[in-house]
Amino acid sequence: MIKRIPSLVFIFFLVVVANAQETNKMIVDATSSTAVINKNIYGHFAEHLGRCIYDGIWVGKDSKIPNINGYRTDIINALKEMKIPVLRWPGGCFADTYHWKDGIGPINERAKMMNYHWGGVVENNTFGTHEFLNLCEMLGCEPYISANVGSGSVVEMTQWIEYMNSDKDVPMANLRRQNGREKPWNVKFLGVGNESWGCGGNMTPDYYVNLLRNYSEMAGIYGQWKLQQIGCGANGADYNWTEVVMKQRPGAMSGLSLHYYTIAGPDWGNKTAATGFEKKFYFSGLEKALKINELIEKHSAIMDKYDPKKQIGLMVDEWGIWTDVEPGTEPGFLFQQNSIRDALIASLTLNSFNNHADRVKMANIAQTINVLQSVILTEGSKMVLTPTYYVFKMYAVHQDAKLLPSQLIGESYEMDGKKIPALSSSVSEDKNGNVHLTISNLNPDKDISLSVELVGKSFGKVNSASVLTAPDYNSYNSFEKPATVKPTDFRNYKITGPSTLNLTIPSKSVLVLEIM
C-alpha cells in the first residue's frame, strides 16, 4: 500500500471535513520512498492465440510485409519505442498443451499441432524457442517462459531449461548448438504452470502446490538456482488459493501470479462490444477495473503473513479488459478494438501497480498484438497503435524509478447511483531527480482542477507535459483513422508557489508531467 504522510495528510483531512466542501488535491512526499517501481510492471504477454504471433509479430522471411528475418519491422520499432521490459510466452492456456521440441530445428521439418484452446487451428510451430528468444534480444527485453505443467512433465521442463540456459557439454545444450545457437540465452523468468486451477489442469490448490514443490526443486537444480520461478497464483478473488500456496511455498519460488480481467458488461456471458458501447458500459468498465486495488491488497495481506519481508513478488501476469470480439472475426481469436476507455483502464491499473510497488514486481497485459487489450493492431501491411499503446509509452518514465508516497483527495464520478473516484494517480522520482506525475481523469464529461503540493522539494520547472484524450468516451484508432486518440502537448498548468502546482485535467484523459 502507499505509505501515508501522517501529520500533513491528517491535518489536510481535518481541513476538508471542517470546510465540508469538495476539494481536489494531491500531496506528494518527496522526502521518503519505500519502494522502487520495478520496470517489469510494464510487461506484456504474447500467446499463440489468433493473430498475436502469426500475422502480428511474425510474418516470415519471405513475406512482402517489411520484416527483419521474419519479424515485422513496424512491430519491432513500435515495441522498442514503448520500452517493453519483459515478454511472457507461449501462453496462457496454449502453454499447457505446448511441447517445446516441436518448435525447434529446421522450420520445414517441425511438427504441427492442434491449437485446441484457440480456434481449433493447426499450429505449424514456425515460431518457436529460437524465434521467441531472439525476438527478446532484438527488443532488449527479458523473456518470461511459461512451462507446461498441465500436459507436460518435469523432464520436459528441465530439458527446456538446459536447452535455453546451459553452456556445458550436455545433450540439450549441444542440441541448441546443432540448431545454430552457440551461446545460451540465460532466461531469468520461468512460470511453473499457467491457470492450473482451470485450463492448465483443473487442479485444487493442495494438488498444485505439491506439483509446484516438485517442479520448482528440479527447475532450481537445472537452472543452477538462477531462475526466478513464478508459481501459478489465483484467479481473481480466490484468496484460498493464495493461502494454500503461500503457506506451503517451496523455497525456490520468487513470485506468485494473479490473473484478473475486466468485464464491462454484467458477466462473462454478456461482455459488451469494444466500440460503440453506451456510457453505462464506459462507467462499469472503469468500476470493475478499479477492483484490482482490492485484489492486490487482499492477496498481499495473505502473502504478508508468510512473507513479511516481501521476498516473493506478486506477478499480475494476465490483466486487461475482455470484450466481445469484432463482428465477423473468429470468436476463438479474441480480436477486439481498443478505445479511450481501455486507455483509462490501463492507466488506473498501472497507477495501482506503481502504488503497490513494494509487493507487485511484474505485470503482463493481455496481449501484445491483435488479441484482447492489445497495444498494436495489424491488418495486412497496415498497423495501428492503440490508445493503450500510448499509455504504456507515456508511463515508461516510471520504470525503475522511486515511488513517492502520495495522497489524492478528489471528487467522485457518479452514474446511476454509483460512484467511483474521478481521479487516479501515481508519482515517482527518476535517477536524475526528475519527478513524474501520472494522473487520469475518468469523468468523460468534466474537466477537473487539481492542486498538487510537493512536500520536501520545490518545483523548478515543468520539463514536459503530455495528455492523451479523445473526442468521445468510446473513440478509438481505426486503420482508416489511426490518429484519433494520440498524445498531445499539455499546457494547462501553473506553478503557483515554490512547492505548489495547479492543473486543469481534461475529461476522459491521461496526463503525464515531468518536473525538476
Task: Check if the beta carbon of residue 494 is closer than 8 Å to that of residue 452.
Answer: no
Q: Which helix (H) or strand (E) holds 419?
A: strand 418-421
Maximum CA extent, the chain: 75
Task: Check if the beta carbon of residue 221 is closer than 8 Å to that of residue 163.
Answer: no
Residues 387 and 411 in one domain: no
pLDDT of residue 245: 97
* Confidence label for 44 from pLDDT (cuts 50, 70 and 90): very high
Average pLDDT over residues 133-138: 98
Catalytic residue among 142, 195, 429, 453: 195
Residues 453 and 435 in one domain: yes
Which CATH number characterizes residue 352's domain?
3.20.20.80
Average pLDDT over residues 56-84: 97
Output the average pLDDT for the chain: 94
pLDDT of residue 418: 96
Query: Containing domain of residue 479, as a range?
Result: 6-35+404-515
pLDDT of residue 79 exceeding 60, the answer is yes
Average pLDDT over residues 371-390: 98
140: amino acid identity, one letter: G
Distance separating alpha carbons of residues 185 and 354, to the nearest angstrom: 29
Q: What is the pTM of this model?
A: 0.94
Instruction: Report the DSSP beta bridge partners of residue 257.
Output: 315
Task: Check if the beta carbon of residue 325 is closer than 8 Å to that of residue 331.
Answer: yes
Residues 22 and 106 in one domain: no
- Residues 459-496 have pLDDT tens digits of 889 999 999 999 999 999 999 999 999 999 999 999 99
Residues 307 and 446 in one domain: no
Residues 462 and 489 in one domain: yes
Distance separating alpha carbons of residues 421 and 408, to the nearest angstrom: 10
Residue 203 lies in a domain: yes
Task: Check if the beta carbon of residue 30 is closer than 8 Å to that of residue 456.
Answer: yes
Average pLDDT over residues 405-432: 96
pLDDT of residue 23: 82
pLDDT of residue 2 exceeding 70, the answer is no
Residues 467 and 363 in one domain: no
Average pLDDT over residues 324-352: 97
Domain's final residue, options 350, 373, 403: 403
pLDDT of residue 404 exceeding 50, the answer is yes
391: amino acid identity, one letter: V
pLDDT of residue 458 exceeding 90, the answer is no
What three-state secondary structure class fits 273? coil
Which CATH number characterizes residue 445's domain?
2.60.40.1180
- Residues 278-336 have pLDDT tens digits of 999 999 999 999 999 999 999 999 999 999 999 999 999 999 999 999 999 999 999 99
Residues 440 and 453 in one domain: yes
- Residues 226-263 have pLDDT tens digits of 999 999 999 999 999 999 999 998 778 999 999 999 99
Residues 468 and 361 in one domain: no
Helix, strand and coil in the chain, % to nearest 5? 30, 30, 40
* Confidence label for 5 from pLDDT (cuts 50, 70 and 90): very low
Q: What angle do CA 128, 130, 134 make, to 5 degrees?
A: 120
In this structure, which long-range contacts are made by residues 123-128, counting pairs with CB atoms below 8 Å and at least 24 apart in sequence?
123/48, 126/54, 126/58, 126/60, 127/48, 127/53, 127/54, 127/57, 127/58, 127/103, 128/100, 128/102, 128/103, 128/104
pLDDT of residue 19 exceeding 70, the answer is no
Domain's final residue, options 379, 403, 427: 403
Task: Check if the beta carbon of residue 198 is closer than 8 Å to that of residue 237.
Answer: no
Of 435, 460, 436, 446, whose CA–CA distance to 410 is shortest?
446
Please give the grid coordinates belonging to residue 386: 492503440
| φ/ψ of residue 96, rounded to 5 | -90, 10
Residue 1 lies in a domain: no
Residues 180 and 214 in one domain: yes
pLDDT of residue 16: 43
Please give the grid coordinates belonging to residue 318: 494476465
- Residues 166-222 have pLDDT tens digits of 999 999 999 999 999 999 999 999 999 999 999 999 999 999 999 999 999 999 999
Catalytic residue among 47, 162, 318, 453: 318
Report which DSSP code applies to 262.
E
Residue 197 lies in a domain: yes
Residues 398 and 475 in one domain: no
Q: Which residue has the cell 516441436?
A: 102
pLDDT of residue 172: 98
Distance separating alpha carbons of residues 300 and 293, to the nearest angstrom: 10
pLDDT of residue 15: 44
pLDDT of residue 513 exceeding 60, the answer is yes
Report which DSSP code applies to 93.
G
Number of domains in the chain: 2
Is 318 annotated in the active site? yes
* Confidence label for 22 from pLDDT (cuts 50, 70 and 90): low
pLDDT of residue 252: 86
Q: Using CB atoms within 10 A of its CB, is residue 251 exposed (0-12), middle (13-18) or buried (19+)?
A: exposed
pLDDT of residue 80 exceeding 70, the answer is yes
Task: Check if the beta carbon of residue 378 is closer than 8 Å to that of residue 386.
Answer: no
pLDDT of residue 354 exceeding 50, the answer is yes
- How many other β-carbons are positioned within 10 Å of the β-carbon of residue 494? 11
